[in-house]
Amino acid sequence: MQAIRSILVIIEPELPEGLALKRAKLIAGVTQSHLHLLICGKKHDHSALLSDLSSTLQQEGYSVSSQQDWHDNLHQTIITAQQAEGCGLVIKQHRPDNPLKKALLTPDDWKLLRYCPGPVLMVKTDTPWAGGIILAAVDVGNADGEHRTLHASIINHAYEIAGLAKASLHVISAHPSPMLSAADPVFQLKETIEAQYREQCKAFQAEYDFSDEQLHIEEGPADVLIPYMAHKLNAAVTVIGTVARSGLSGALIGNTAEVVLDTLESDVLVLKPDAIIAHLEELVAQR
């Protein structure tokens, strides 16, 4: 977070002082990041609004630039600006799609999470970050190199946010249910599965100095447990990650992040490994 030099803030004309800008000001106030305001659309000219917002932010001491643009659809417009401006973070307010529309079409915010070559903060509430709970969700059952790197990034970002906001870090990892037919005896008992997951989290605990009480190892599907734990803790921010699926693009987000986007009651920061970011940047450059 501290290394972010420029933040792309999606401004919605009907919500000019929306939650995205409030979060961006909070982060930039600590990191001294530049704010680039973007309005997506070509039907109406919003230059006056952008000028007013920029002027107010400059008077408040922020470094600001702005633009209105449109490239085929919402997520491509945002990604084009993110790449052109070199923004290390995208902040957008998330409002759930109509369930019927979602059943027929992939929501725009899901596409942004899939294809954006960089971290995306989806702002959902005005819950203060200061003094709150920052929840990092990791899948320590996947211990390959790509996942280990991603886990470190998730906890590192959550730890930095907790430091910036003087908040508490909590970590959750969901584990599978016991299977008597499992070849490995560890996966035949809930207690042995949980013990193994806790053991795998010890390195994180040692590095980031959080207690057993801040570590939540729970049995069940991640897309159910993450929102449950975020609600139970009243988390202000939930930090989650994604590793590429196999497939033609090699860059599709895992289902968990998409599913929990609507069910989480906190802000959501979604991260990707460096390899996926590099691949997505190549895809954007080919357009």
**CATH architecture for segment(s) 133-285:** 3-Layer(aba) Sandwich (3.40)
pLDDT (tens digit, 9 = 90+) per residue, 51-77? Answer: 999 999 999 999 999 999 999 899 999
CA-angle at 137, arms to 131 and 142, nearest 5°: 155
Mean pLDDT is lowest, of 64-78, 97-111, 178-192, 243-257, for 243-257
**Contacts with 52 (C-beta within 8 Å, 6 or more apart), sequence order:** none
What is the CATH number that goes with domain 6-93?
3.40.50.620
The residue with greater pLDDT, 58 or 112, is: 58
The alpha-carbon radius of gyration of the chain (Å, integer) is 19
In this predicted structure, what is the pLDDT of residue 204? 82
In this predicted structure, what is the pLDDT of residue 109? 86
Sequence ranges of the domains in the chain = 6-93, 133-285
CB atoms within 10 A of CB 4: 18
Q: What is the mean pLDDT of residues 216-239?
A: 91
The DSSP letter of residue 15 is B
Give residue for tokens 């008077």. Answer: 59
pLDDT (tens digit, 9 = 90+) per residue, 22-32? Answer: 999 999 998 89
In this predicted structure, what is the pLDDT of residue 267? 94
Name the band, by pLDDT with cuts 50, 70 and 90, for residue 284: low
Residue 101 has pLDDT above 60, yes or no: no
The residue with greater pLDDT, 195 or 10, is: 10
CB atoms within 10 A of CB 113: 25
Q: How far is CA 158 from CA 11, 65, 183, 188, 200, in A?
A: 25, 28, 35, 32, 18
Name the band, by pLDDT with cuts 50, 70 and 90, for residue 252: very low
Distance (Å, rounded) from C-alpha 249 to C-alpha 246? 8
Residue 3 has pLDDT above 80, yes or no: no
Name the band, by pLDDT with cuts 50, 70 and 90, for residue 189: low
SS3 269: strand
Q: What is the mean pLDDT of residues 186-198?
A: 70
In this predicted structure, what is the pLDDT of residue 248? 35
Residue 245, both tokens: 């699926």
SS3 103: helix
SS3 21: helix
